[in-house]
Each structure stands twice: as C-alpha cells, then as structure tokens.
Amino acid sequence: MQILSALLAVAKSERQPVYLQIANQLMTLIKDGTLQPGYRLLSTRQLASSIKVHRRMVVQAYDELLAQGWLESHTGNGTFVANNLPAIRRQGPENQVKADSALKKAGFSFEKSQHLNRAVLKSGTRLHLDDGFPDPRLAPVEELSRAYRSQLLHGNPYIRLGYGDTKGAAWLRQELASHLNETRGLKITADNVLIVRGVIMGIHLVSTGLLKPGDHVAVDSPGWFGANMNFIRAGAHIAQIPVDEHGMIVDELEKLCQQQPVRLVYVTSHHHYPTTVALRADRRISLLKLAEKYGFIIFEDDYDYDFHYLSKPLLPVAGADKAGMVLYCGSFSKTISPAFRVGYLVGPEDAITHLALFRRIIDRQGDQMLENAIAELLQTGVVQRHLRKSVRVYKQRRDVFCDLLKTQLGDKVEFEIPDGGMAVWARFDPSIDIEKLAARALQKDLYFSDGSLLKRPGEGKDSIRLGFASSDLSELEESVGIIKDLL
C-alpha cells in the first residue's frame, strides 16, 4: 500500500479532475513497466485512504481504465492490470532521457528540402517597413464582425454550420464574379471562381493539379520565392526570365519557348514582385499570343491590384484572354488584412472544377462563415468604400515616405516612386551591408528585410522592399530616422 501511494500524487488545486489525475498516473505506471500485467491493485477503499481522496474518485479512475482496457476486474477477487497487455521492462533513467528527447527529435528519418528553408515573415516589432502589408487599423473590422455574427446566428443551422461546396461559398463566388467583372474587366460567372485561403494556396493547387515532374516553369527574376517553392516541390524546372522597368522581358520568354516546351509562366503583371513595375501593355499582348502559340498556362498573380495611385490601373491579362490560357489569382489579404485567409482563383470552368478536387484533399472547405461575411460586405459596398479610403491613405503615405527617403537617405538609396502597391523597391549603396543594417535596426525595434530572400543569382544584396502602407506618417518618419542614424 505504501509503495503505490508513494507513486501517486494528487493535486486538488489543479484544473484536471482528481479521478483523471489518478487514472493518468496509473496508466503511466503500466506503460513504463512499473505495474506489470496481472498486478493486483489496491481496493478502491484502500487506495482512497492511502492517498487521502474520496473513494468515489478512485472508483471513477478504475472505471475509466477498465473502459480503456488497461485494467480488468475479477468479480469477488479484485482489480488487476490487464493480462493481455504486453510485458514491459521497467524503464531506467536512460530510457526516460530517450523518451524526453523524442519530443525534440523524431525516431524516423525524413528528407529536409532546402528550397523550403526560408524565413517566415511575422509581425512583432513596434516599427516596420515590411514586405508591403496593409494597415489592419484601417480594416472594416466592426462591419466584418457584425456580418460574421449574423452568419453564425441566422438561417438554417444545418446548412450554415455544416459542409458546403468545395469550391467555396456560393454567395461569395457570385459576389466576387460581379466585383471582378466590374473592376477588372473580366466576363466570368460564379462557376469560374474557386475560393482559396490565399494566393499561395492557389499556386499550390495549380502546382499539384497541373504540373508534372520535369515540366518547365518560367518565372520573373527577381521573383517571389513563395511561388518558386511550390513549383520546385512539384518537380518542375525553374527558368528565370529577367525583369526590366517594363516588367517581364517577353522576348526572352519567347527564346526559351523556342528551345524547350514551357508548361506554365508565373507573372505578377500589375505590380511586379518585388520591383513594383507594371507589365507594359504591348508585353501583355505578346504574352497572351505566346501562350496561345506554345500552349503554356499563364498564372497571373494580382496580389494588390486595388492599390494604384497614378491613374486607372491596367486591366489584368486575364481580361483579354480569348483562348482560356490564364488562371487569375488574388486575395483579401492585402485588401483587408493577412489574418483573413480568403482568396480566389479564376479560370475556365473545367480547370476550376479539376482544381477543386485537389483543394478537397488538403482542405475540405474554407471558413464558410467568413466567406459569407465577406460576400455581405461586397454586396453592401463596405469593401468598395474601404478600398477607396485605403487608396487615399496609402497614396499619402507613399508620397511622405518617398520624400523622407529622398531628403534623409538620398545619398544612400536610389528608388523610383511606385505607381501603385504598398512598397518601394529601394537600391542601397553597394558599400552598405543591408544584412547588418537590418540586424541593428531590429535592436531599435524596427523591422525591414535583410535582402537575403530577394537576392538575384550572381548579384549582391543591395535591393530590398520597404513597405510603407502599414505605418502611419509619424511611424514612417521615425523609421527613416532610425535608418539615417544607423548609417
């Protein structure tokens, strides 16, 4: 009695019920070999007395372990550790060390992929010149919360809270079709829309569903590593197509097509990532003609189309597609906030239906409550009003930020004022070690990229994106001041 009572410790102040504490500790003693199969336990009265708990707690603990098969009861003879359990040699101290390390290091082998080894951008510092994120302080959070609450409380709960269409909420797909037709010159219906968690999910689905190992994929250079990681994971060969002040050099793409078959071309047409330049109109036409001629898919990533300041934005390549060669992708991550994971992939109906099958095996459906809430905001015009307000605010921030860069860092940084988007493509003096500068700024509670993710092959890390949209005017001034002091 004394030995078993010494092995059990009950803390009545813990949140876990006392009977579960007893049951879990007995289970651990069986699993580590301390209590062997056939071992006779104390009666419920004896054990309760020895560990000073109410007998009902021990009865419940025994019942729990009997139900799970750890114990067996012999009427009139007592309760025993189940005989059908394998005998386990009692664990020594070295085995405990091994068990503890199992939480840190897997006992099985797996191959680590270098192309996945990229830093994850996270919010954390007080000041930030980030990758080009929106300001969540401007987001229509109150309207969204009311719409979300309405979705939770009203309507048929079986439908509202049950499984829905793998392609996404029908209401949102309908509203998006209308919105994209009106703002981007598309001519689509809800059947052309697949709701995704964001652009990265759209790229993943296309990589999984439309690429085969050995396919050739052409991408912008410099470009977005997030897209490239998916193409590499699919077993594709990446071909880098250079970008100049007018976007992807389509003539270089044509040369590639003449040399080898190209399956897909990934392009950020409106505000190229990372340089922010727009793909010129004549190159858009040439790109579509090449797609028809050589039969490749165009994946058009239009991640921040809505934020353009100079004039009306160029319409997407998808709007002029007459042959069904373009898959068009965007999201509300830049429109509202990255926390709201709702995006859209637009394309021919048969391709969207095909890709929806792949969406189902990684994510049965998205957040129907959120999707319908956003549909309501689109229908009532809240999103449209938010965009008009945000464009005014971000334009002011762009102008102030560019003026600060010119007046405070003009001898150290070169840049072109972007026509749109949420970031400036800044080229630092080659003598400046951006990686060290970013590390020192981080000590001042200011984050900006160290350039490692955007380094061109064979070139130094002298150019980075400096996001201005997520900071107000005083924060922008303080951030540039910190960089000036560090330089």
What per-residue confidence (pLDDT) applies to 480? Answer: 92
Q: Could you give the percent of the chain with pLDDT greater than 90?
A: 45
Domain total for the chain?
3
SS3 447: strand
Query: What CA–CA distances, in Å, run from 246 to 16, 268, 281, 316, 374?
Result: 63, 12, 9, 15, 34
pLDDT level of residue 117 (50, 70, 90 thresholds): low
Is 232 within the bounds of a domain?
yes
241 and 291 in a single domain? The answer is: yes
Q: Please determine, for residue 131, whether its predicted confidence score (pLDDT) is greater than 60.
A: yes
Condensed to tens digits (0 to 9), the pLDDT of residues 203-225 reads: 999 999 999 999 999 999 888 88
Neighbours of 30 (CB within 10 A): 20
Query: Of 385, 400, 425, which one is at a domain's C-terminal end?
Result: 385
Q: What pTM value is reported for the model? A: 0.80
Q: Same domain, yes or no, for 398 and 408? A: yes
Quote the pLDDT of residue 467.
Answer: 92
Pairing label, strands 463-467, 423-428: antiparallel
> Is 303 within the bounds of a domain?
yes
Q: How far apart, in whole angstroms, are the C-alpha atoms of residue 136 and residue 302?
A: 20
CB 476 within 8 A of CB 397: yes
CA distance 184 to 178: 10
Residue linked to tokens 């999103």: 383
User: Are residue 247 and residue 377 in the same domain, yes or no?
Assistant: yes
Q: Which residue has the tokens 């020192």?
A: 440
C-alpha angle with apex 397: 456 to 119, nearest 5 degrees? 35
Between residues 395 and 338, which one has the greater pLDDT? 395
Range 116-121 average pLDDT: 67
Lowest mean pLDDT segment, chosen from 6-20, 147-161, 271-285, 387-401: 147-161
168 and 269 fall within a common domain: yes
- What are 346's strand-pairing partners? 193, 328
Consecutive H or E run containing 259: helix 250-259
Q: Which of 146-160, 299-313, 374-388 has maximum average pLDDT?
A: 374-388
Closest CA to 281 of 239, 323, 250, 243: 250
Whether 227 and 297 map to the same domain: the answer is: yes
What contacts 53, CB < 8 A, 6 or more positions away? Answer: 10, 12, 18, 22
Closest CA to 84 of 62, 64, 63, 69: 69
Q: Is the CB of residue 371 less than 8 Å from the CB of residue 172?
A: yes
Per-residue confidence (pLDDT) for residue 458, from 0 to 100: 47
How far from 255 is each of 249, 250, 268, 294, 396, CA to CA, in Å? 10, 9, 20, 12, 42
Q: Is residue 103 part of a domain?
A: no
CATH number where 411 lies? 3.90.1150.10
Q: Tell me, what's the pLDDT at 145?
A: 87
Q: Does residue 457 surpass a pLDDT of 60?
A: no
Average pLDDT of the chain, as a whole number: 87
Query: Does 350 share its domain with 415?
Result: no
Q: Is residue 111 part of a domain?
A: no
Among 96-100, 152-156, 282-286, 448-452, which range has the highest average pLDDT?
282-286
Q: Which residue, 385, 416, 434, sits at the end of a domain?
A: 385
Q: Is residue 10 a contact partner of residue 20, using CB atoms and an 8 Å limit?
A: no
CATH of the domain at 206: 3.40.640.10
Query: 3-state DSSP call for residue 446?
Result: strand
- Considering the domain architecture, whether residues 197 and 301 belong to the same structural domain is answered as yes
**What pLDDT, on a 0 to 100 scale, did the predictor assign at position 96?**
56
Q: Where are the beta strands (DSSP E) in 16-136?
A: 71-74, 78-81, 127-129
Helix/strand/coil for 474: helix
Residues of the chain with pLDDT > 70, as a percent, come to 93
- Spatial contact of 176 and 186, defined as CB atoms under 8 Å apart: no
Residue ranges in 271-423 assigned as alpha helix (H):
281-294, 349-362, 368-380, 382-409
Residue 464 host element (H or E): strand 463-467
Q: How is residue 324 written in tokens? A: 């069904």
Which of the four pLDDT bands, split at 50, 70 and 90, describes residue 3?
low
Q: Which of 326, 351, 385 is a domain's end point?
A: 385
DSSP character at residue 40:
B
**pLDDT of 310 above 60:** yes
Q: Which domain holds residue 56?
A: 2-81
pLDDT digits (tens, 9 = 90+) for 317-366: 998 899 999 999 998 888 877 777 889 999 999 999 999 999 888 887 77
For residues 22 and 79, the answer to whether their CB atoms sit within 8 Å is no
Here the tokens at position 220 are: 């912008």
Task: Identify whether 90 is part of a domain.
Answer: no
The pLDDT assigned to 460 comes to 46
Read off the pLDDT band of 35 (50, 70, 90): confident
Q: Considering the domain boundaries, does residue 222 fall inside one?
A: yes
Residue range 463-476: average pLDDT? Answer: 92
**Is the domain of 36 the same as that of 76?**
yes
359 and 256, same structural domain? yes
The reply to whether 297 and 175 lie within a common domain is: yes
**pLDDT at residue 100 above 80?**
no
Higher pLDDT, 79 or 110: 79
* Torsion angles phi and psi, residue 397, rounded to 5: -65, -40
Which three-class secondary structure state does DSSP give residue 467? strand
pLDDT at 9 over 90: no
> The tokens of 319 are what?
């709007």
Mean pLDDT check: name the lowest of 92-96, 364-368, 438-442, 464-468: 92-96
Residue 89 lies in a domain: no
Q: How far apart are the first and last CA of the chain?
A: 73
Give the range among 105-119, 266-280, 461-475 with minimum mean pLDDT: 105-119
Judgement on whether residues 391 and 371 belong to the same structural domain of the protein: no
- My answer on whether 376 and 396 are in the same domain is no
The answer on pLDDT for 88 being more than 60 is yes
Res 303 pLDDT > 90: no
**Total residue count of the chain as it appears in this document:** 487
Q: 71 lies in a domain? A: yes
Higher pLDDT pick, 87 / 166: 166
Asked if pLDDT for residue 405 goes beyond 70, the answer is: yes
CATH code, domain with 32: 1.10.10.10
